[in-house]
A and B are shown apart, each in its own frame.
Chain A
């Protein structure tokens, strides 16, 4: 019997970088078209895929694509905060809600056009979110997770109780976009810009500091860097992305209501992030693009959607914690074979 176990252990999987991956590191990538293509292909496929998608879809799925873009933005901001700063924010819907309410109010009360309210709501919403999260930024791990989880629920309570901002009915009849192409290309281009900006950011000095705050904040403090100010900056960036999603959403549906603080906006991005691969930034976007249509197809089942995201979430976190993107990257950059030990 013990022999059998031994035989299975005599093989192991060896992974080696592909030659082309090694050759394309550094400036040498410029030496041939093939190698430049190897580097650029995944990025171009993603960008072109996103930009061409509206042309291939019908009206209904175009709407779904817009929603997927919003979730992708939220997933990006969740991934940025969780994987690079170590702040697990369970209250992503707070970003959506604050962005949506600010742009909705500006549009309904002041009559400003969407191209004015969206930028204002993005920045103002991010400032509000950062200020609200400010006292909790000294916390780590579950403490931050739970306090951030409370804010959307609390805001809903306050809005219903005080009957402000339209109470339970919300604010309707907001200005919408002139045509569906503006709808889609606005959100898709923002997703692409946010994605590549964040990728650049996390490889800069600031990203290094943020990651070291996640890994060992005492050491960062000891180096004379204020971790609080970096956390504030990170939360501000993440909430900018989220609040843009909210402001965009309010004009997409022409309506703002308390359901914008609902759990969907908090949990789907998390599921998308875990599915796509935490820390890759591209993964969450792809996860959102997969999960949103899936949940749309299940719209008829009501709460089953949330149950489904959670099942996917647990499945991935337990059995495939690296996520889709890391898996694909490995296949792309490395080949593997079984090797006798």
Chain B
């Protein structure tokens, strides 16, 4: 029962983290390697708004999500727009943006900035209480996390299927040239997808960070997790991403229960390698993706 509940929690963590990355890559074929950095940045911004500027907690969350969305749009407008269609440069540039944010947060002693090191950065939980479900003790934040994750996935599904903007994003994802002929601006779609993706990374951060400390290292882990989910699930496939999150989430919890937490990351890489050998297009990927990745 432990495994079932905490596995679900872990899986939703994976899904939350991956969903923004999948969205951006699915729509505009841009690998946003700054995803993990934006995740940490939102955690840090929220923390400093709450603690240094004494902003009301929900308001602080909204502000930092806004900043993250803006930053996503800026990354596209200033940098990635000049590099579209050059996959190597896209990877390197967005990775460099991510590193600037992550390592910049660790700077010390410049302009009175204290640096972002140490275990002092903890975001408060939304509701601080513990419940008992089927004999397993679980805190309310983890339940909120499950609910939040499901809401995010559902909201995104509704957004991409029933709103005009969402439909235009899907159109760009399916066939960019045809969509452009119908008057959909590809750059605008990319800006929208990057800002939504960045905001989603931030949303994941504010939901997940109360469970632990806000650290810069989390950024690398999040990026890797997001990519692992995408590789295993098959890019562009929503169902695949969700399925892969559950596979990975449970695989990790089970391996931790059996062998200890050492093997967590080994499981991750092992799963990726197995998938690559046996199903190169991912769990639910289609033939088209197979062609472009192998």
Contact = CB atoms under 8 A, between A and B. Distances in A.
Interface of A: 82, 86, 88, 90, 135-136, 138-143, 145-147, 149-151, 153-154, 157-158, 161-162, 263, 267, 270-271, 274, 278, 301-304, 306-307, 309-311, 313-314, 317-318, 321
B174 interface: no
B294 A311 contact: no
A313 B89 contact: no
B19 interface: no
B91 A145 contact: yes
Given A142-B91, A145-B91, A146-B227, A154 B103 contact: no
Interface string B98-126: 01100110111010000000000000000
Given A314-B93, A314-B96, A307 B276 contact: no
Nearest to B293: A143
B231 A146 contact: yes
30 contacts: A88-B87, A88-B88, A88-B92, A90-B91, A90-B95, A140-B292, A142-B31, A142-B91, A143-B231, A146-B231, A147-B272, A150-B268, A154-B266, A154-B269, A157-B265, A158-B266, A270-B92, A271-B96, A302-B106, A302-B108, A304-B110, A306-B99, A310-B96, A311-B96, A313-B96, A314-B93, A314-B96, A317-B89, A321-B86, A321-B89
A139 B227 contact: no
Contacts of A150: 224, 265, 268-269, 272
Nearest to B82: A318
Contact of B293 (A141, A161, A306, A314): A141
Interface string B78-92: 110011001111011
B250 interface: no
Given A153-B224, A303-B107, A141 B96 contact: no
Contact of B276 (A136, A309, A310): A136
Given A135-B273, A321-B89, A306 B103 contact: yes
A120 to B, nearest CB: 27
B92 A307 contact: no
A141 B107 contact: no
Interface string B205-247: 0000000000000001001100100010000000000000000
A138 B294 contact: yes
Contacts of A274: 92
B262 interface: yes
Contacts of B91: 88, 90, 141-142, 145
A141 B262 CA distance: 30
B96 A149 contact: no
Contact of A153 (B87, B88, B220): B220
B49 interface: no
Query: DSSP majority for the B interface?
Result: helix
Interface in B238-285: 262, 265-266, 268-269, 272-273, 276-277, 280
A310 B107 contact: no
Contact of A307 (B82, B107, B262): B107
B97 interface: yes
Contact of A135 (B107, B108, B277): B277
B191 to A, nearest CB: 17
B103 A303 contact: yes
A281 B92 CA distance: 18
A-B residue pairs, 9 tightest by C-beta: A161-B262, A310-B96, A142-B31, A306-B103, A146-B227, A135-B273, A303-B103, A313-B96, A303-B106
Contacts of B83: 317-318
A295 to B, nearest CB: 13
Nearest to A274: B92
A252 to B, nearest CB: 25
Given A150-B224, A311-B100, A314-B93, A140 B293 contact: yes
B224 A317 contact: no
A146 B224 contact: yes
A267 B293 contact: no
A267 B95 CA distance: 10
A138 B92 contact: no
B103 A307 contact: yes
B277 A310 contact: no
B276 A139 contact: yes
A162 B103 contact: no
A321 B79 CA distance: 12
Nearest to B217: A153
A145 to B, nearest CB: 5
Nearest to B79: A318
A307 B104 CA distance: 6
B32 to A, nearest CB: 10
A249 B108 CA distance: 29
A313 B93 contact: yes
A141 B87 contact: yes
Contacts of A135: 273, 276-277
A147 B82 CA distance: 26
A20 to B, nearest CB: 33
A173 to B, nearest CB: 28
Given A150-B269, A162-B262, A313 B92 contact: yes
Contacts of A147: 231, 269, 272, 276
A150 B271 CA distance: 13
